[in-house]
């Protein structure tokens, strides 16, 4: 209740604790160990190639599709779906989240839909979207947008609700305009939680794109997985999956980088923990 204790501590939510990635050489070592294990399994069990292709074959297949431009075309297509879907989902979610957080009337009006939308398994309505919007880009973009929408919406609301009332009072006592309050208080104060939602959304968007392409598409990495499976080209399935992993990691990495840039003011806490 009283504010004793000599250190002024801010009570802003920090990054949710994440799994910690070791140094560069540890990553190399751990991946190399994985490859050795993979080779070992091939050597001991000698499974048919369509069940588990050896790493060398996957590497060669990767080189083939990478050098003739096929892989790049599929990556490009999937990336467009993800980025456009995220742009749509994030802008809708943050705008609606802002209205929900600021207006009790809007909240009462929309909350049943918000809660219901959380219960809809996006994966299950993907076929519906493909029926409605065709097997082209639009249906994939919508699936990505929908899957990104919810975590970003919730984090926008939680972030805005967490803005300290005292700081709102301060802005009011200084006669700040609503725009000033938005840009100078609400945006920076809600940003840590908002970016947390974006980080989750970025990886979900990859899933959304793949699911959309599974249901119906003629391009994209999800389509490539399906195509290769149909041809028993398991090495190519591996290539597509690995590419998707790299894509998802890069999305995650970009948001993490964004967090590091924008949230430098709360970074040191993490470093403190790492040094202990």
Partner 1 sequence: MAVSPHIVNPNPSIPILQVSELSAVFSNGQQGLQALDRVTFSVYTEEFICVLGPSGSGKSTLLRILAGLLPLTTGELFYCGQPLTGPQGDIGVVFQKSNLMPWRTVLENITLPLELRRVPRAEALRQAQEMVELVGLTGFETTLPRDLSGGMAQRVAIARALIHDPRVLLLDEPFGSLDALTRERMGSELLRIWQHRRKTVIMVTHSISEALFLADRVLVLSRRPGQLRLDLPVDLPRPRQEQMRYTPAFGELARQLRSTIEDATEIL
Contact stretch for partner 1 (CB under 8 A) within 9-17, 52-60, 108-116, 248-256: 9-17
Closer to partner 1 at the Cβ: 164 or 253?
A: 164
Asked if residues 259 and 247 have their Cβ atoms less than 8 Å apart, the reply is: no
Q: Under the criterion CB under 8 A, does residue 266 sit at the interface with partner 1?
A: yes
CA geometry: angle 48, 54, 58, nearest 5 deg:
115
- Any idea of the CA torsion for 85, 90, 95, 97, to the nearest 10 degrees? 120
Instruction: Report the residue from 13, 16, 164, 178 that binds partner 1 according to the rule CB under 8 A.
Output: 164
Q: Under the criterion CB under 8 A, does residue 258 sit at the interface with partner 1?
A: no
Q: How far is the CB of 262 from partner 1 (least distance, A)?
A: 9
Number of residues interacting with partner 1: please give it, by CB under 8 A.
31
CB neighbours (10 Å) of residue 87? 14
Coil/strand/helix, residue 193: helix
Contact stretch for partner 1 (CB under 8 A) within 27-35, 113-121, 231-239, 266-274: 266-274
Residue 242: which of 30, 63, 82 has the closest Cα? 63
Q: How far is the CB of 105 from partner 1 (least distance, A)?
A: 19
Contact stretch for partner 1 (CB under 8 A) within 41-49, 64-72, 138-146, 172-180: 172-180
Q: Under the criterion CB under 8 A, does residue 166 sit at the interface with partner 1?
A: yes
Asked if residues 179 and 68 have their Cβ atoms less than 8 Å apart, the reply is: no
Instruction: Report the residue from 79, 88, 114, 176 that binds partner 1 according to the rule CB under 8 A.
Output: 176
Q: Provide the b/e sequence for 175-202 (b: ≥16 CB within 10 Å).
A: ebeeeebeeebbeebbbbbbbbbbbbbb
Q: How far is the CB of 169 from partner 1 (least distance, A)?
A: 5
* Residue located via tokens 């979900």: 204
Q: How far is the CB of 160 from partner 1 (least distance, A)?
A: 15
Residue 154: which of 95, 91, 93, 89 has the closest Cα? 93
Query: Which residues contact partner 1 (rule: CB under 8 A)?
Result: 2-10, 12, 164, 166-167, 169-176, 180, 184-185, 188-189, 263, 265-266, 268-269
């Amino acid at each position: 209740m009283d504010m004793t204790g000599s250190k002024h501590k801010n009570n802003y939510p920090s990054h949710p604790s994440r799994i910690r990635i070791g140094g560069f050489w540890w990553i190399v070592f751990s991946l190399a160990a994985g490859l050795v294990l993979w080779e070992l399994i091939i050597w001991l069990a000698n499974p048919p190639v369509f069940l588990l292709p050896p790493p060398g074959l996957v590497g060669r297949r990767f080189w083939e599709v990478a050098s003739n431009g096929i892989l790049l075309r599929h990556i490009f297509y999937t990336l467009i779906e993800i980025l456009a879907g995220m742009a749509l989902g994030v802008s809708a979610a943050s705008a609606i989240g802002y209205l929900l957080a600021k207006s009790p009337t809007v909240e009462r009006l929309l909350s049943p839909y918000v809660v219901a939308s959380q219960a809809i398994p996006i994966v299950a309505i993907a076929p519906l979207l493909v029926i409605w919007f065709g097997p082209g880009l639009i249906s994939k973009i919508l699936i990505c947008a929908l899957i990104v929408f919810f975590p970003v919406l919730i984090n926008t609301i939680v972030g805005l609700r967490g803005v300290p009332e005292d700081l709102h009072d301060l802005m009011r006592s200084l006669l700040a305009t609503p725009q000033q309050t938005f840009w100078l208080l609400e945006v920076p104060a809600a940003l840590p939680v908002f970016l947390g939602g974006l980080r989750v959304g970025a990886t979900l968007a990859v899933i959304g794109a793949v699911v959309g392409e599974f249901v119906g598409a003629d391009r994209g990495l999800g389509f490539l997985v399906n195509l290769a499976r149909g041809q028993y080209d398991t090495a190519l399935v591996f290539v597509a999956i690995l590419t998707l992993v790299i894509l998802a990691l890069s999305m995650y990495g970009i948001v993490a980088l964004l967090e590091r840039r924008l949230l430098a003011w709360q970074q040191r806490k993490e470093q403190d923990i790492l040094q202990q």
